[in-house]
Amino acid sequence: MWHLHQFPLCPFSRKLRLHMAEKAVAYELVRENPWEGRDGFWQLNPAGKTPVLHDPERGATLCDSRVIAEYFEETIERNALISGGAAQRAETRRLVALFDENFYRDVTEPVMHEKMMKRLILRQPPDGRVLRSAGKLLHGHLDYIDWLVDTRQWLAGPTLSLADLACAAHISVVDYLGAMDWSDHEQAKGWYMVMKSRPSFRPLLSEKMDGLPPPREYASLDL
């Protein structure tokens, strides 16, 4: 069976967990804190990043969430999440890159650093200026998500895709850390509620990062 090396608030691992649940791929979780630089982990992934999927029985290892997602799309036909014609598939990949690169750089990563790393590892208070700047950038991203929701059925087009999973994974981390602000973003909020209600989301909502409890509303299906 696949072992997924991850920690509960890694957005890339969350995207992969949603993907594996939607495609009914069985796996076990292995807790991995990449910042600890464990030797055995570096041997699996010389980039030292989560997520890593490893199957000890077959001796197979897959690294990087986008590579792993492509692997499952190529090997498991049911519930395709990069689907449609070439242009539609390109649109899904464009949005996954937008959320995994731009949203992560602007919002998820600074919020994780200020509210998770500083609290649990560095033992420092969060820097309000960094959080305010991430909050401003969050609104810009939510404006764009509002527009996508207004013009399409799902973020990338007519069907649920990996773009929805990527975006929801990042938002769920920011939400867990109490840094989501939905003011003036009813469309994006409605879409996230639909995502949050999917059975694939449930295990994420019940999981906690030790020493860092989520706000009470985090697991609620009413935002």
Residues that bind ligand GSH (CB under 6 A): 10-12, 34, 48-51, 64-66, 100
Rounded distance between C-alpha atoms, residue 52 and residue 44, angstroms = 8
- Quote the least distance from Cβ 222 to ligand GSH, whole Å: 28
User: Of the two residues 73 and 100, which places its CB atom closer to ligand GSH in the complex?
Assistant: 100
| Residue whose Cβ sits closest to ligand GSH | 49
Contacts of 82 by beta carbon, 8 Å cutoff, 6+ apart: 69, 70, 73, 89, 92, 93, 161, 162
**Residue carrying the six token digits 């989520």:** 214
Measured from the CB atom, the residue of 100 and 175 that comes closer to ligand GSH is 100
The distance of closest approach from Cβ of residue 14 to ligand GSH in the complex, given in angstroms and rounded to an integer, is 9
- Minimum CB separation of residue 134 from ligand GSH in Å reads 15
Q: Cis peptide leading into 51, omega within 30 of 0?
A: yes
- Nearer Cβ to ligand GSH, position 53 or 188? 53
CB 104 within 8 A of CB 171: no
In angstroms, what is the minimal distance from the CB of 202 to ligand GSH? 21
